[in-house]
C-alpha cells in the first residue's frame, strides 16, 4: 500500500484550516500522513496545528523557514518534509470528500504516476454539484497532448508519485501558476477520475484565487512560462522520434512503426515488410537457396540476379526508412492556445506597468495566431488600464449572458 502525504499549506486561516484538517483526518485510507506547512501564521493557526500534531501520530507541523513566503514556497516546504510515496496538496480553505484518498491511491496502484480528480464548486459559501474541472468528460488515461492543448482547465485535485517530480518544486517568484510544475507529470502516464473528491471553495474575499489578481507581474510570469514550457516539452518529445535502439536482423531501424510512450518508434516485422519490401525478397532468396539442385545453373543465375536486385531494393528501402525517420511529429503545437497564454501574459503585464513586456507578449501572441482579442488589446494598449479592466468586465458579462449563466 502506497504511503500518501496530504500536504496542507496554511496561513492565517484558523477556522478554515481546521475544517480542511478534519476532512483529511477523516479519510479512510490508513497509510497516510498529514503535513501542515505554516507560512508563519499569527492568528492562532500555529498553536492549533501544533495541538493536532501532538494529538495524532500521523500529523506533522512544519514552519516555513526555508522558502520565500507565499503559496508556492509554503507548498515546497511541505514537499521537503513529506515522507510518502505519493503527494496530494489540500489548500487550507478546501475540504476532502469522504473516500477521496482511497479512490485516488487505487488509481496510482494501477501504474499511473498521477491522477487528476474533479471537485465540486462551493460558490460564495453555497455548496453545488457543479464540477470545477473542465475539458474531460469521462474517466480514462490523459494524453499529454490534451494538456499541451490547454484542454484541461479549472480546478482538479491531483495525487502524484514522489518520483514524478523528483527534486522539482513550484517556481520561486510566482503566485500560483502550478502548471509550471504539473507539466512534468505528463512525462509519465496520467489518469483522469471523473468523480468529485474535493470541495473547492471560490469567491471568498480571502481566496488565493481572488487575491492572485493583486500580483499581476507574478501572474504574467506564470502565463509566459507556461507557454514556453509547453513549446519546450513538445520540441523535446518530438526530437526523440526516429531514435530507435531496436535491431532486427542486425540492422538499426529508425522511424517505421508505432510510437512508444517515450516518443521512440517501435518496429514490427509486419511494418518492416509493408514499408521496405526487402524482408519479403530475403525470404524468397532463402527459400530458393534451400531448395533442390535440380534447377542447376539457371537457379544460380537467377539467384545472382535476384541478389543484385535485392541490393537495389535495399538502397531504396533504406531511402524510404530514412524518409520515415522524419515522420510527422508525435505532438503538435496548438497555436491558438499558445497565443492565448501570451495574450494573458500581456494583459497582466499591462496591469503591472511592464509595457515593454506587454508589447513583447502581444506580438508573440499575434505571431502564433492572429486573434481579434490580441489585436484589440494592441489597439487599446495606450489607454489607461482602468478602461481595459472596465471593457473586460463588460465582455465577461456579455459572455455569461449569452451562455445563460
Contact 1, 108 (CB under 8 A): no
Better-predicted residue by pLDDT, 405 or 169: 169
- Give 27's pLDDT tier (boundaries 50, 70, 90): very high
Contact 90, 7 (CB under 8 A): yes
How confident is the model over 400-405, as a mean pLDDT? 64
The Cα–Cα gap between 150 and 337 comes to: 6
Residue 220, domain member (yes or no):
no
Residue 56, domain member (yes or no):
yes
We report the CATH number of the domain holding residue 97 as: 3.90.550.10
**Interior angle at CA 310, CA 306 and CA 314, nearest 5:** 175
The Cα–Cα gap between 333 and 230 comes to: 8
User: Structure pTM?
Assistant: 0.74
* Residue bearing cell 532486427: 248
Which triple of cell numbers denotes residue 392? Answer: 473586460
Q: Do residues 51 and 190 both lie within one domain?
A: yes
Q: Do residues 270 and 206 both lie within one domain?
A: no
Residue 219, domain member (yes or no):
no
Contact 353, 381 (CB under 8 A): no
Domain that holds residue 49: 4-214
Q: Do residues 197 and 78 both lie within one domain?
A: yes
Q: Do residues 16 and 160 both lie within one domain?
A: yes
Q: Is the dihedral of CA 157, 161, 341, 238 positive or negative?
A: negative
Better-predicted residue by pLDDT, 270 or 394: 394
**Interior angle at CA 223, CA 222 and CA 228, nearest 5:** 95
Q: Do residues 268 and 339 both lie within one domain?
A: no
Q: Do residues 174 and 58 both lie within one domain?
A: yes
* Residue bearing cell 513583447: 360
User: Is the pLDDT confidence value at 273 over 60?
Assistant: no
Q: Do residues 341 and 281 both lie within one domain?
A: no
Q: Do residues 304 and 348 both lie within one domain?
A: no
- Give 276's pLDDT tier (boundaries 50, 70, 90): very low
Q: Number of helices and strands (H, E) in the chain?
A: 15, 14
The Cα–Cα gap between 26 and 29 comes to: 9
Number of domains, the chain: 3
Which triple of cell numbers denotes residue 88? Answer: 496530494
- What does DSSP say about strands 114-123 and 157-161: parallel, antiparallel, or unpaired? antiparallel
Q: Do residues 160 and 79 both lie within one domain?
A: yes
Per DSSP, the three-state class of 27 is: coil
How confident is the model over 150-166, as a mean pLDDT? 95
Residue 225, domain member (yes or no):
no
Residue 238, domain member (yes or no):
no
- Give 290's pLDDT tier (boundaries 50, 70, 90): very low
Amino acid at each position: 500500500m502506497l504511503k500518501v502525504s496530504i500536504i496542507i499549506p496554511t496561513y492565517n486561516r484558523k477556522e478554515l484550516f481546521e475544517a480542511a484538517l478534519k476532512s483529511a483526518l477523516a479519510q479512510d485510507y490508513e497509510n497516510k500522513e498529514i503535513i501542515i506547512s505554516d507560512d508563519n501564521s499569527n492568528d492562532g493557526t500555529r498553536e492549533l496545528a501544533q495541538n493536532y500534531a501532538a494529538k495524532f501520530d500521523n500529523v506533522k507541523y512544519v514552519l516555513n523557514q526555508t522558502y520565500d513566503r507565499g503559496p508556492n514556497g509554503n507548498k515546497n516546504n511541505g514537499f521537503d518534509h513529506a515522507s510518502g510515496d505519493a503527494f496530494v496538496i489540500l489548500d487550507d480553505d478546501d475540504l476532502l470528500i469522504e473516500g477521496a484518498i482511497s479512490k485516488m491511491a487505487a488509481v496510482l496502484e494501477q501504474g499511473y504516476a498521477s491522477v487528476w480528480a474533479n471537485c465540486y464548486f462551493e460558490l460564495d459559501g453555497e455548496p453545488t454539484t457543479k464540477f470545477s474541472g473542465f475539458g474531460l468528460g469521462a474517466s480514462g488515461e490523459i494524453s499529454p497532448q490534451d494538456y499541451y492543448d490547454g484542454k484541461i482547465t479549472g480546478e482538479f485535485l491531483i495525487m502524484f508519485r514522489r518520483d514524478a517530480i523528483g527534486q522539482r518544486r513550484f517556481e520561486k517568484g510566482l503566485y500560483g501558476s502550478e502548471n509550471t510544475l504539473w507539466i512534468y507529470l505528463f512525462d509519465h502516464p496520467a489518469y483522469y477520475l471523473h468523480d468529485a473528491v474535493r470541495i473547492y471553495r471560490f469567491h471568498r474575499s480571502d481566496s488565493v484565487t481572488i487575491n492572485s489578481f493583486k500580483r499581476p507581474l507574478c501572474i504574467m510570469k506564470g502565463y509566459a512560462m507556461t507557454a514556453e514550457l509547453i513549446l519546450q516539452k513538445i520540441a523535446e518529445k518530438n526530437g526523440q522520434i526516429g531514435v530507435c535502439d531496436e535491431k532486427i536482423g542486425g540492422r538499426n531501424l529508425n522511424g517505421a512503426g508505432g510510437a512508444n510512450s517515450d516518443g521512440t518508434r517501435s518496429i514490427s516485422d509486419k511494418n518492416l515488410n509493408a514499408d521496405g519490401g526487402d524482408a519479403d525478397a530475403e525470404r524468397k532468396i532463402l527459400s530458393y537457396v534451400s531448395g533442390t539442385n535440380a534447377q542447376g545453373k539457371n537457379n544460380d543465375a537467377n539467384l545472382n540476379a535476384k541478389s543484385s536486385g535485392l541490393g537495389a531494393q535495399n538502397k531504396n528501402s533504406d531511402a524510404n526508412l530514412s524518409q520515415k525517420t522524419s515522420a510527422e511529429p508525435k505532438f503538435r503545437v496548438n497555436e491558438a492556445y499558445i497565443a492565448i497564454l501570451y495574450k494573458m501574459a500581456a494583459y497582466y503585464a499591462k496591469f503591472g506597468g511592464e509595457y515593454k513586456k506587454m508589447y513583447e507578449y502581444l506580438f508573440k501572441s499575434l505571431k502564433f495566431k492572429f486573434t481579434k482579442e490580441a489585436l484589440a488589446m494592441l489597439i487599446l494598449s495606450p489607454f489607461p488600464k482602468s478602461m481595459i479592466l472596465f471593457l473586460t468586465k463588460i465582455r465577461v458579462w456579455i459572455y455569461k449572458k449569452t451562455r445563460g449563466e
